[in-house]
Structure 1
């Protein structure tokens, strides 16, 4: 295996981006073909394919029908929760999308309007997303089951004309009613939504509000199919919210043109998938993986995609493997969390007995750092390449990977591979200077970013600058830390900020702390991530209680856990909370979260020179030991340091 071909493509994409991406753009059907590939902008990200026009829905659906492949299955929908499955061909998908798009138009939705989609993993979710793209509306998918307050904050930011929802989702724990959460969110938010469309599921019937709520089935019955509209390459396709360090959601904006070009290119280059192949990303459409590689990526290249409602070990640890065999999946994409759950339930791989996986060419892992043990276990069990790769909501497609469709390279457990052509990745020190190999620093990407990456943050250009572009001028800051080895492989070691990664969900510590501090007994709180073998990280709440109160501490902890579940959602997996007398801080009042994170992971920490009260760290260590997260006898204080923590 050689790196030479990848190195050559990296150089070509960086030195001659116009020629490189012009060639990639030939895979897309344009209404107005691009005459210019990239237009830089001072102090910004620039624009890809300015002046060109297209329609993303046409490229993902209609053109495959016109090419004579309308009878090919476009979407398999499989639910382990309801023990059901269905298939929809490209022709059927075209008809359904065109009709639902007509229903949106009938309810007053037009080009540039926003539509919030709050749905489970059902075929109608894909139809709603593609219908928005068909008419030039901007969709914003919110993870189904998110707490009402979180949904409300996204509605207020996106100011949608309409919300599409389902009556419920279904989890292993039971039915999760969505409609009451939606109703509560619509009462909480300042922005008033005139219309909603509700898909009633048999497991739970939502109550309709006359005049505002419209049944999906009725909307479809009343609608006339509409054609694809022309949109500019730089018109937004969608907004996808991700938590930031402030707790206020950031709306990542994706364009139409660059997005279509990059995803179509990546399907072959990274995942080695072409028209007629079957691709399964076991994720959720509320995440960027669902947008890029359940809906748009596979459909743009004419592949068959699989939409799955369920969990990795429900009903048992062999469910993924049986689905791969039944639907002849060629490439499978999931999170390391899922593989860890399967490994925990079935370490000997008994669920693979009698399952024929000859169809499977590779397993792809992303969402959080993949530990070598998990990768190697999957390789042994599946006997196919297991490809760790790394990217973000903001980039929309892989930054570093093993590009199986171009030239496979050696798999190095612990690394997501080489920089994908189009990304100039560097590891920088605090002054913005590139660091030598094997030296950890901040991972940044030299501007311009390739097509398909974020074009901005919705209604927040200042936050784009402060959050991503101003720290290292000329670079996009990923917020992750890591290092390169001698072969150019990147090792991503974790976040440099205070955003937790819980089973692929990026959750703001600030948001947790806001909820904890709203409790009447709590004076202040800090939330840190502690390592977890299954979910990557779990949030740990350290709370300082107000003085002079007689409290049942167990009751307070239970109330705090319930409050986080209600206001952030079950995805937070918040179960660890303890009371401490004081929090370690600098003299300026900054809570030493980084120092506490190290303490909780069992590392010896240096006493920061700027610490206000050294005893506070000892108290935190005692609390961690009481919870069983560290051992009380373990030495934890290293030599004094001038580092501020």
Structure 2
């Protein structure tokens, strides 16, 4: 992969953090040395931070994908265990042990609803609510190993039911509350869920929207669904809730009335905890299975180390609870560490674009973890910088997740939100890895805008070529993980061969996990992510990274966000089509023709800018100015859809989109462009 963009700005770890961080320079050196000597022993020590009912007898086993004895052309299915024989209860580790330690009065959750309703939940409150929900689940026939699909927005009840499912040894699969009935149905059917948890409605951008009918459509005709448990959220604002007697039950009837003391059973560390479905940007979504002991160990330790957890922290991870980021750094990691958190139900622009800053000020948020796509959106909402309206001085640490962050967005985040004082932990990980893998340690690492820096202690990752050989500094290649880790997904639900083929087959000879991402080393050995290898654009034999071209575009003051896709070109094989959200919207933002006119003003400027930044080979052939980009709920730009929009191809699976209306708005711009300029290549 050709690397063209360079970034020279650096930000050393602040002196006060180097001296006081959970993992300082000396501790980091010691931990890395210990992990390199024996990474299993390293993770055993991390596991000891949890409460175990029984110790494990086998710390780790690993059977890699190797040629089968009876058929050397076929690979075996890889299998891993961590802390086998050890028994624990995940909910006890996240709730009960803090109450038992005398910290029941500590706030666990500050809930902020989109309409402005608020609720504070202590750890003792959370213990009582989870206990009630556990009793209700049992009364509804849910037991160990049963699957429960949770189709809810970000509510206290969502956290409660998730922990209650874990408490009784069942398996949860959370689904974004904005997903279609079709997307929910796939997950219910694939897991064979016996219970679906939903709400009467939810608030979206200031409007109460009924959702129970979508849940009903999702479970229609599925005999394995025994009950639908319904949270009353919107009430009289969404009347006439459809109801199936005998199947449907209200939360307030079966949960709120249950006993608030529950005796928790301990389960083996390899007990499945949840099934996390990938976004399905290509093919049908994969249900990744994570197990209790190894996952919680890595979630808790990485949260403690990467976010430098303090007892007085107020942590806010802005992800929807259905995304793996929220599982690890909004539910399990922070609660295992006894942290106070903020959870927010709504969108960042409701009722005004400063809602997040208002929330940070209200609760005194200290660590704020969000997606690069939202940061770039903030840049378009506040093109002149954040006004002094809100006090963000409580922030001491920032974090990013979801995609590589463009250097200019990183600097904006650091200066405008962090006040130039708060380090940014730019984390790389995946649904498949379970927890952060490559990330800075804020008291140790010299930060570089756009780089996730180094693998964490206990993790080993490399950038390799097609043959699995590590590349030289400055060269691009494939990011692989060359050593097992406790948070790793164990399989794909119901399809172990797909797990093998998707992640372990490509570099089976070396035993590497293939992440599907391109990356490069810089001269210091730090890792820079270059995006999904499926998104690489081949222009005249040069394999160009989409993230580098997007970063060059975003570095121009007229651009707020950019998505780049490769499209067929008779001369160069592929050409670059750049979809750009401007820093300032056209005067008539609802008029598609206004966006086309804006593109004419920007095209030559941006093509010349990209040529200056990273070379003429990377100049976009086409610049399309649009009001939105198609993104998954986790903030990833679906570049495949951009290419399909250009060519007029089938859009395929779009169920994971955060806002399906973005496609319609882009199509309107493309249609207006084609009408105004029929000879243009983008049509």
Q: TM-score normalized by structure 2?
A: 0.75
Deviation at 1:222, TM superposition (A): 4.5
Which residue is equivalent to 2:228?
196
Which of 460, 482, 486 is the equivalent residue of 1:451? 486
Q: Which runs of 5+ in 2 are unaligned?
A: 1-11, 14-24, 66-77, 537-545, 551-564, 566-575, 582-627, 630-635
Which residue is equivalent to 1:418?
454
Question: How has the CA–CA distance of structure 1 residues 7 and 623 changed in structure 2, closer, same or farther, with 3 Å as cutoff?
Answer: farther
Say if 2:513 is the partner of 1:463.
no
Deviation at 1:5, TM superposition (A): 5.7
The 5-angstrom pairing of residues 71-470 of structure 1 reads 71-79=105-113, 81-172=114-205, 174-187=207-220, 190=222, 192-201=224-233, 202=235, 203-205=237-239, 206-224=241-259, 225-244=261-280, 246-351=282-387, 353-381=388-416, 382-383=418-419, 384-404=422-442, 407-448=443-484, 450-470=485-505
Deviations along 1:10-55, whole A, 9 cap, x unmatched? 3422321232112111210000122432122243242111110100
Partners of 1:134 and 1:124 in 2: CA distance: 15
Partners of 1:629 and 1:12 in 2: CA distance: 63
Partners of 2:300 and 2:424 in 1: CA distance: 22
Question: How has the CA–CA distance of structure 1 residues 284 and 540 changed in structure 2, closer, same or farther, with 3 Å as cutoff?
Answer: same
Deviation at 1:77, TM superposition (A): 0.5
Deviations along 1:136-191, whole A, 9 cap, x unmatched? 1101001112111111111111111111111122111623322111111112x655
Deviation at 1:283, TM superposition (A): 1.0
Partners of 2:489 and 2:445 in 1: CA distance: 28
Partners of 2:671 and 2:168 in 1: CA distance: 56
Q: TM-score normalized by structure 1?
A: 0.79
Task: Tell me the secondary structure at the aligned position of residue 9 of structure 1.
Answer: helix
Deviation at 1:263, TM superposition (A): 1.4
Which residue is equivalent to 1:552?
none
Deviation at 1:7, TM superposition (A): 5.4
Deviation at 1:427, TM superposition (A): 1.2
Deviation at 1:313, TM superposition (A): 2.7
Greater displacement, 306-315 / 251-260? 306-315
Q: Is the 8 A contact 2:171 2:274 kept in 1?
A: yes
Partners of 1:71 and 1:425 in 2: CA distance: 41
Which residue is equivalent to 1:540?
642
Deviation at 1:569, TM superposition (A): 6.8
Question: How has the CA–CA distance of structure 1 residues 623 and 440 changed in structure 2, closer, same or farther, with 3 Å as cutoff?
Answer: farther
Question: How has the CA–CA distance of structure 1 residues 530 and 13 changed in structure 2, closer, same or farther, with 3 Å as cutoff?
Answer: farther
Which residue is equivalent to 1:15?
37
Deviation at 1:4, TM superposition (A): 7.4
Q: Is the 8 A contact 2:212 2:242 kept in 1?
A: yes
Q: Is the 8 A contact 1:335 1:368 kept in 2?
A: yes
Q: Is the 8 A contact 1:138 1:239 kept in 2?
A: yes
Q: Is the 8 A contact 1:625 1:631 kept in 2?
A: no
Partners of 2:306 and 2:324 in 1: CA distance: 17
Deviations along 1:111-156, whole A, 9 cap, x unmatched? 1111100001110000000000110110100111211111111111
Partners of 2:295 and 2:390 in 1: CA distance: 36
Partners of 2:441 and 2:160 in 1: CA distance: 30
Deviations along 1:276-327, whole A, 9 cap, x unmatched? 4211001101101111111111110000111111222322232222211221
Q: Is the 8 A contact 1:313 1:345 kept in 2?
A: no
The 5-angstrom pairing of residues 541-580 of structure 1 reads 542=644, 570=659, 573-575=662-664
Deviation at 1:63, TM superposition (A): 0.5
Partners of 1:544 and 1:336 in 2: CA distance: 25
Partners of 1:418 and 1:390 in 2: CA distance: 10
Say if 2:510 is the partner of 1:488.
no
Question: How has the CA–CA distance of structure 1 residues 315 and 229 changed in structure 2, closer, same or farther, with 3 Å as cutoff?
Answer: same
Task: Tell me the secondary structure at the aligned position of residue 270 of structure 2.
Answer: coil
Partners of 1:66 and 1:165 in 2: CA distance: 32
Deviation at 1:628, TM superposition (A): 9.8
Deviation at 1:333, TM superposition (A): 0.3
Partners of 1:251 and 1:343 in 2: CA distance: 35
Q: Is the 8 A contact 1:72 1:90 kept in 2?
A: yes
Which residue is equivalent to 1:31?
53
Greater displacement, 338-347 / 242-251? 242-251
Question: How has the CA–CA distance of structure 1 residues 631 and 38 changed in structure 2, closer, same or farther, with 3 Å as cutoff?
Answer: farther
Say if 2:89 is the partner of 1:67.
no
Q: Which runs of 5+ in 1 are unaligned?
A: 503-508, 510-527, 546-555, 580-621, 635-645
Greater displacement, 215-224 / 394-403? 215-224
Deviations along 1:406-433, whole A, 9 cap, x unmatched? x331111121121112221111211222
Which of 39, 42, 63 is the equivalent residue of 1:41? 63
Question: How has the CA–CA distance of structure 1 residues 61 and 162 changed in structure 2, closer, same or farther, with 3 Å as cutoff?
Answer: same
Deviations along 1:535-589, whole A, 9 cap, x unmatched? 56353364799xxxxxxxxxx99xx99x98789673583236779xxxxxxxxxx
Q: Is the 8 A contact 2:132 2:257 kept in 1?
A: no
Question: How has the CA–CA distance of structure 1 residues 578 and 68 changed in structure 2, closer, same or farther, with 3 Å as cutoff?
Answer: closer
Task: Tell me the secondary structure at the aligned position of residue 129 of structure 2.
Answer: helix
Question: How has the CA–CA distance of structure 1 residues 337 and 569 changed in structure 2, closer, same or farther, with 3 Å as cutoff?
Answer: closer
Which residue is equivalent to 2:597?
none
Partners of 1:341 and 1:175 in 2: CA distance: 24
Question: How has the CA–CA distance of structure 1 residues 4 and 628 changed in structure 2, closer, same or farther, with 3 Å as cutoff?
Answer: farther
Question: How has the CA–CA distance of structure 1 residues 629 and 103 changed in structure 2, closer, same or farther, with 3 Å as cutoff?
Answer: farther
Task: Tell me the secondary structure at the aligned position of residue 55 of structure 2.
Answer: coil
Q: Is the 8 A contact 2:438 2:455 kept in 1?
A: yes
Q: Is the 8 A contact 1:119 1:143 kept in 2?
A: yes
